[in-house]
Amino acid sequence: MAKVYVVGLGPGADQQMTREAHAVIERCPVIVGYTVYVDLVKEQYPEKVFLTTPMTQEVKRCKMALEEAQNGRDTAMICSGDAGVYGMAGLMYETGKEYPDVDIKIVPGITAANGGAAVLGAPLMHDFAVISLSDLLTPWEKIERRIKAAAMADFVICLYNPSSKKRRDYLKKACEMMLEYKSPDTICGTVRNIGRDGEKSHIMTLGQLKDTEVDMFTTVFIGNEQTMEINGKMVTPRGYRNV
Amino acid sequence: MAKVYVVGLGPGADQQMTREAHAVIERCPVIVGYTVYVDLVKEQYPEKVFLTTPMTQEVKRCKMALEEAQNGRDTAMICSGDAGVYGMAGLMYETGKEYPDVDIKIVPGITAANGGAAVLGAPLMHDFAVISLSDLLTPWEKIERRIKAAAMADFVICLYNPSSKKRRDYLKKACEMMLEYKSPDTICGTVRNIGRDGEKSHIMTLGQLKDTEVDMFTTVFIGNEQTMEINGKMVTPRGYRNV
């Protein structure tokens, strides 16, 4: 029986794809994905079969991949970042219940938390929490509870989907909640278009972040008590200093 | 001026290294690292200069790299996983304050949270918290506060350094704290030797995890309220189902 691979491409650039991801894409005769990502691969491999669906038809996209594998063709479903972080990995297993003979394998990729951190310097380093501000699939009360808990326990916090047209003030609201527990001087950073053309990063305080507008292509980092700015980089110490 | 690159190799296997990490290692004439990782690279590139220090001499290792770059040689410091997650990236910037002319660049890698998740299925998927149980550099009270906060707010939790000879009962203690907020039926998973020979994973409940012994080569995942087992895989839904 053929396999379905759910492959994370890393953030944007081809350079942050792993060797395994590259090898799997090369090997599979069928590539499935959201149109934008498939177009990235199409140029390199004109001989493959490419199947796409638009942004919202995720279940359909999984079924397409599972059916190809059931028909004996190894299939790679490609996603940006890591398929296991706000990606398609979970849905593939859920949808896969109806295709018990198809083996599903996840090929990890660099997610925006790690890719963006590398651009800013070393903001994560220690314990951190990753939270999406999108309330499309999660009640806002739950997001709020997570923001407050993470801020209270002094986690470094990485926010995905910090904004959209319908939720312009969500980052501001999140900052206000974090300010109940974190100092306004807490070092924060934003990265837009990680690993792509026009990549741009900024370092600022939590007080400043509250009044900063970002878009959906931006990942936001809020430091812990110890996070500092060193020569324009955002750095959270691990504590090795005294070694 | 030459550069210092802090390069994450991903978990274990060469296959999970990114193209960028590979290209940087190939380009740099000097490779610095903890002995075990340097040995992995040495065989492939006998012509390079290799500098190593044992496990505990992290500051010295950073200085070695910075001095090489100051003397005009591009230098790659290599780390397993992602250098920005419990790795050397932060310390390099801290140590780099004394070498203001040397440019430091972080090359991200797949960290155990993402690499281990791919082995187990799709345990992260949604909001998650990464916590190290090592109290070598962090007071246990702070670790406790973070475990409780993350459990209370229903994060998926990924534990690094869940055990060592001196802290055999830490995972048990962590589970007991999580059980104050999470059901004993919460789906959990462990992965040992991610991406290496002898890779092994197990899925169990939080009640069972409490009485499970793991070692320092293991990464532990605790699901959220919605995490389930599907055909032997640990899967947290993102919520797409109704799309």
Domain-located, residue B243: no
Residues of B in contact with A227 (CB under 8 A): none
Select the residue of B100, B109, B129 nearest A150 (Cβ to Cβ). Answer: B129
Q: pLDDT above 90 covers what percent of chain B?
A: 81
Instruction: Calculate mean pLDDT across residues A12-24.
Output: 90
Are residues B80 and B143 both part of a single domain?
A: no
Name, in order, each residue with C-beta under 8 angstroms of A147's C-beta and a sequence gap of 6 or more: A131, A157, A174, A177, A178
Are residues B200 and B156 both part of a single domain?
A: yes
Q: How deeply is B124 buried, as exposed, middle or buried, from its count of CB atoms within 10 A (0-12, 13-18, 19+)?
A: buried
Are residues B139 and B231 both part of a single domain?
A: yes
Domain boundary among A87, A107, A127: A107
Which chain B residue has its CA at the smallest distance from A112's CA? B108
| Calpha distance A9→A18 (Å, rounded) | 8
Q: How deeply is A127 buried, as exposed, middle or buried, from its count of CB atoms within 10 A (0-12, 13-18, 19+)?
A: buried
With H, G, I as helix, E, B as strand and everything else as coil, classify residue A52. Answer: strand
Are residues B117 and B171 both part of a single domain?
A: yes
* Among candidate residues B189, B232, B192, B182, the one with its CA nearest the CA of residue B216: B192
pLDDT digits (tens, 9 = 90+) for B40-61: 788 888 899 999 887 778 899 9
Are residues B102 and B129 both part of a single domain?
A: no
Domain-located, residue A169: yes
pLDDT score for B166: 81
Are residues A64 and A138 both part of a single domain?
A: no
Domain-located, residue A51: yes
Select the residue of B19, B90, B235 nearest A90 (Cβ to Cβ). Answer: B235
Instruction: Calculate mean pLDDT across residues B139-153.
Output: 96
Q: How far is A229 from chain B (nearest CA, A)?
A: 10
Of all helices (H) and strands (E), which one includes residue B95? helix B89-96
Q: pLDDT above 70 covers what percent of chain A?
A: 98
Are residues B62 and B124 both part of a single domain?
A: no
Domain-located, residue B242: no
Q: How far is A195 from chain B (nearest CA, A)?
A: 11
| Calpha distance B84→A104 (Å, rounded) | 29
A168: confidence class by pLDDT, cuts 50, 70, 90: confident
Side-chain-facing half-sphere of A102: CA atoms under 13 Å: 29
With H, G, I as helix, E, B as strand and everything else as coil, classify residue B173. Answer: helix
The 8-class DSSP code of residue B141 comes to H
* Domains held by chain A: number: 2
| Calpha distance B36→B79 (Å, rounded) | 10
Instruction: Calculate mean pLDDT across residues A30-50.
Output: 88
Cβ proximity of A31 and A48 under 8 Å: yes
Cβ pairs bridging A and B (under 8 Å): 259
pLDDT at residue B243 greater than cutoff 70? no
Of all helices (H) and strands (E), which one includes residue A103? strand A103-107
> Under an 8 A CB cutoff, do B153 and A155 touch?
no
Taking the alpha carbons at both ends of chain B, their separation in whole angstroms is: 53
Select the residue of A22, A106, A145 nearest B118 (Cβ to Cβ). Answer: A106
> Under an 8 A CB cutoff, do B15 and A18 touch?
yes
Residues of A in contact with B237 (CB under 8 A): 90-91, 94
For the record, the structure tokens of B39 come out as 């040995």
Best of A24, A85, A131 to disrupt the B interface (most B CBs within 10 Å) is A85
| Calpha distance A229→B130 (Å, rounded) | 23
Domain that holds residue A62: 3-107
ipTM confidence score: 0.96
Domain-located, residue A39: yes
pLDDT at residue B240 greater than cutoff 70? no
Residues of B in contact with A106 (CB under 8 A): 117-119, 121-122
pLDDT digits (tens, 9 = 90+) for B68-120: 999 999 999 999 999 999 999 999 999 999 999 999 999 999 999 999 999 99
Lowest mean pLDDT among A129-133, A189-193, B173-177, B193-197: B193-197
Are residues A177 and A156 both part of a single domain?
A: yes
Name, in order, each residue with C-beta under 8 angstroms of A61's C-beta and a sequence gap of 6 or more: A32, A33, A34, A51, A52, A53, A77, A88
According to DSSP, the residues that pair with B8 across neighbouring strands are B79
Domain-located, residue A228: yes
For the record, the structure tokens of A69 come out as 């594998």
Domain boundary among A91, A107, A123: A107
pLDDT digits (tens, 9 = 90+) for B153-168: 999 999 999 987 788 8
pLDDT digits (tens, 9 = 90+) for B171-216: 999 999 999 999 999 999 999 999 998 999 999 999 999 999 999 9
Select the residue of A10, A18, A127 nearest B130 (Cβ to Cβ). Answer: A127
Select the residue of A20, A82, A240 nearest B114 (Cβ to Cβ). Answer: A82
* Among candidate residues A83, A156, A174, the one with its CA nearest the CA of residue B124: A83
A241: confidence class by pLDDT, cuts 50, 70, 90: very low
- Mean pLDDT of chain B, nearest integer: 93
pLDDT digits (tens, 9 = 90+) for A74-96: 999 999 999 999 999 999 999 99
Domain-located, residue A243: no
Domain-located, residue A241: no
Are residues B133 and B186 both part of a single domain?
A: yes
Give the CATH number for residue A70: 3.40.1010.10
Select the residue of B137, B154, B243 nearest A59 (Cβ to Cβ). Answer: B243
The 8-class DSSP code of residue B187 comes to E
Give the CATH number for residue B203: 3.30.950.10
b/e code A86-118 from CB counts within 10 Å (16+ = b): bbbbbbbbbbbeebeebebbbbbbbbbbbbbbb
Are residues B91 and B118 both part of a single domain?
A: no
> Under an 8 A CB cutoff, do B85 and A114 touch?
yes
Domain boundary among A81, A107, A133: A107
Residues of B in contact with A16 (CB under 8 A): 18-20, 108
Taking the alpha carbons at both ends of chain A, their separation in whole angstroms is: 53
> Under an 8 A CB cutoff, do A243 and B57 touch?
yes
The 8-class DSSP code of residue B1 comes to -
Instruction: Calculate mean pLDDT across residues A10-33.
Output: 92
pLDDT digits (tens, 9 = 90+) for A95-110: 999 999 999 999 999 9
A13: confidence class by pLDDT, cuts 50, 70, 90: low
Cβ proximity of B171 and B162 under 8 Å: yes
A243: confidence class by pLDDT, cuts 50, 70, 90: very low
Q: What is the dihedral of CA A169, A175, A176, A180, to 10 degrees?
A: 160
Q: How far is A49 from chain B (nearest CA, A)?
A: 25
* Among candidate residues B137, B152, B90, the one with its CA nearest the CA of residue A125: B90
According to DSSP, the residues that pair with B204 across neighbouring strands are B188
Cβ proximity of B112 and B25 under 8 Å: no
Cβ proximity of B95 and B70 under 8 Å: no
pLDDT score for A165: 79
pLDDT score for B165: 79
Cβ proximity of B76 and B31 under 8 Å: yes
| Calpha distance A18→B20 (Å, rounded) | 9
With H, G, I as helix, E, B as strand and everything else as coil, classify residue B77. Answer: strand
Are residues B42 and B89 both part of a single domain?
A: yes
Q: How far is A106 from chain B (nearest CA, A)?
A: 5
Cβ proximity of B128 and B113 under 8 Å: yes
Q: How deeply is B20 buried, as exposed, middle or buried, from its count of CB atoms within 10 A (0-12, 13-18, 19+)?
A: buried
Are residues A92 and A204 both part of a single domain?
A: no
**CA angle at residue A157 from A153 to A158, to 5 degrees?**
160
